[in-house]
Amino acid sequence: MRKLFLTFVFALISVVSFAQSAWTVDPVHSSINFNIKHMGISFVQGKFDKFDGKVATAGNNLDKGEFSFIVYPASINTGVEKRDKHLTSADFFDADKFPEMRFEGFTATKGKDNTYTLKGKLTIKDVTKEISVPVTFGGVAKNQQGKEVLGLQSKFTINRLDYNIKFDPTGAGVAKDVEVALYFELIKQ
């Protein structure tokens, strides 16, 4: 009986330790990019240079995953210092008052092949909205240091006016819709 009990305990410990895998974003192999129409005829592209993220998964896939990402708007980089300064001002991100943008994902639903729909809450400035974003799971591999890494990417569009980024509310000069592209490589902890 004792042997059966110990076998059950060891099996339970194995399942629990395998059930949750923790991953953290590798900023060297990840990027958060955006693209927004300017004057209705061209585009401004940019990225955020500083961000963090964690994912907890059930094994080496996104099933039953929990996702938490933070982006620091003061790190915006469009390649034009004057524009970047304006984007961190109260006209746009108001980075002094709102130093973080957050995404907390709580449901990952598997689609075809390696695709998922991730539902969660996106907070920009003083607004939090529930959104769904498509995610492509790139899989798991070992990096040069022998650590497991997980890859994922997502592309989606948000309306900046929904998040109190009210500069040019007509969208004539700076479009309302922002295309977001995320590329993450996460290291297993």
Q: What is the pLDDT along the chain (189 residues), one digit of tens a residue?
A: 555 443 443 444 444 444 589 999 999 999 999 999 999 999 999 999 999 999 999 887 898 899 999 999 999 999 999 999 999 999 999 999 999 999 999 999 999 999 999 999 999 999 999 999 999 999 999 999 999 999 999 999 999 999 999 999 999 999 999 999 999 999 999
Tokens 């955006």 identify what position? 34
Q: Nearest to residue 59, comparing CAs of 123, 7, 137?
A: 137
In a domain, 15, yes or no: no
> What does the buried/exposed string (b/e) look like for 26-53 if buried means 16 or more CB atoms within 10 Å of the residue's CB?
beeebbbebbbbeeeeeebebebeebeb
Radius of gyration of the chain (CA): 20
Q: How many domains does the chain have?
A: 1
In a domain, 8, yes or no: no
Residue 151 belongs to what domain range? 20-188
In a domain, 115, yes or no: yes
In a domain, 11, yes or no: no
In a domain, 165, yes or no: yes
Name the pTM for this structure. Answer: 0.86
In a domain, 9, yes or no: no
In a domain, 143, yes or no: yes
In a domain, 116, yes or no: yes
The CATH number for 109's domain is 2.40.128.110
